[in-house]
Amino acid sequence: MRIVGWLLTCDQPVSREEIWDQFPDEYTGDAAAKERKWTRDKDALREAGVPIVYMEDVRGYGVQRDEYYLPTLHFSPAEVAMLWTAGQAALRLRGLPWREELESALRKLRSADPARHARAAVPPVLQVESAAAPDEQARFVELIKDAAGQRKRLWMRYFTAGRSEETEREVDVHGIAWRRGAWFFVGHCHLRGAPRVFYVSRVRALKVINHHPGTPDYEVPPDFDIRRYAVQQEWDYWIHAPVAARVALRGGLASLAGTLLPGAAVSSLEDGATLGELRVRNLDALVRHVLSLGPDAELLAPEEGRARAREMLGMLVGA
């Protein structure tokens, strides 16, 4: 899948030799051995449903993006309410064979636009933004990689889902990585005066600020490690000072605490529920997450978070 990820970032089809050069650990030996390995990989990827094609006119390989990516789904408020209600009801059926898949699908409804779906029977959470096109994202990824390598500052126009707004920012990129199916990068944001995590899909415009060609604009902190951010959750993003939070998971969620609350200290409550304790720096994100899990999840502390949850739910009751 590393090959697929790389092909999706390429602006143009690439030759098999370019693929071999990009993955030297995978393709070793003489040309015949590399060709046999590439043939096996192509067949395996196509069998897995990845539409890798060879384009005769340019003599290169690529992935047909229109067949690789699922189409974007748009739901009305009534449809969101119906899906959420039906899904919650189905989760209560004993012996449901697709429980994990259904729970995952319901959690994805968290991405509903709060402005559009405030009256739907699902907790209001992050807005679904119109992501940059795959080709544009691939171009952004290359620009970000180059800027990080040369330590050049970037200017960008960035969409923030929580506030449904675009802002102009200058960023010193420290690293870029792939996480949960999306490219993200980390750097010092001069607008916020602190490190921030950015998703490439939310970049609307991007360019390198090259006031001093050939000279780095900044230094990457010596203790920076992109791997630390690769496992970070949304509630870990530095929005405010760390606060202690406690979440109770009951019913079918109790055994999923390690998955639903990564990094939390887990213990048992007297009523059989599972308690997850963690420190968060983005309380609203945790509140949205807990609400999205349904009635079997409850934020016990802090009280500020409980008040925020009541406020969000009040939008539904008062609608």
pLDDT tens-digit map of 1-36: 788 888 888 878 889 899 888 898 889 999 999 999
277 and 224 share a domain?
Answer: no
Quick check: is 104 in a domain? no
Evaluate whether residue 288 is within a structural domain: yes
- Asked if 259 and 206 sit in the same domain, the reply is no
Same domain membership, residue 207 and residue 144:
yes
User: Domain total for the chain?
Assistant: 3
Q: Are residues 138 and 228 in the same domain?
A: yes
Cα dihedral value 62, 63, 64, 65, nearest 10: -130
For 49-202, strand residue ranges (E) read 52-55, 60-63, 154-160, 165-179, 182-189, 194-199
Same domain, 254 and 309: yes
Is the confidence at residue 235, as pLDDT, over 90?
no
CA–CA separation, 144 vs 151, rounded Å?
Answer: 10
Is 22 a domain residue?
yes
Q: Which of 3-12, 93-102, 135-144, 228-237 has the highest mean pLDDT?
A: 135-144
Tokens 């070793």 locate to: 28
pLDDT tens string 25-68:
889 999 999 999 989 988 888 888 888 888 887 788 888 877 77
Same domain, 199 and 282: no
- Measured from the Cβ of residue 161, the count of other Cβ atoms closer than 10 Å reads 16
179 and 258 in a common domain: no
Of 68, 87, 119, the one marking the end of a domain is 68
Find the CATH number of the domain harbouring 304: 3.30.70
pLDDT of residue 93: 60
**Are residues 211 and 265 both part of a single domain?**
no
> How confident is residue 317, by pLDDT bands cut at 50, 70 and 90?
low
Question: HSE (CB half, 13 Å, CA atoms) of 245?
Answer: 27
Q: Which of 52, 68, 84 marks a domain boundary?
A: 68
Question: 120 or 168: which carries more pLDDT confidence?
Answer: 168
Domain boundary among 190, 210, 232: 232
Give domain status of residue 77, yes or no.
no
Mean pLDDT of 79-94: 71
**Distance (Å, whole) CA 303 – CA 287:** 11
Helix (H) or strand (E) holding 184: strand 182-189
Query: Is 28 within the bounds of a domain?
Result: yes
228 domain residue, yes or no:
yes
Q: Please determine, for residue 122, whether its predicted confidence score (pLDDT) is greater than 70.
A: no
- Its domain, for residue 262, covers 243-317
Say whether both 225 and 268 belong to one domain: no
Residues 170, 135: Cα–Cα separation, whole Å? 23
pLDDT, tens digit (0-9, with 9 covering 90-100), for 134-162: 788 889 999 999 999 999 999 999 988 65
259 and 222 in a common domain: no
CA dihedral (199, 200, 204, 208) positive or negative: positive
What is the reported pTM?
A: 0.44
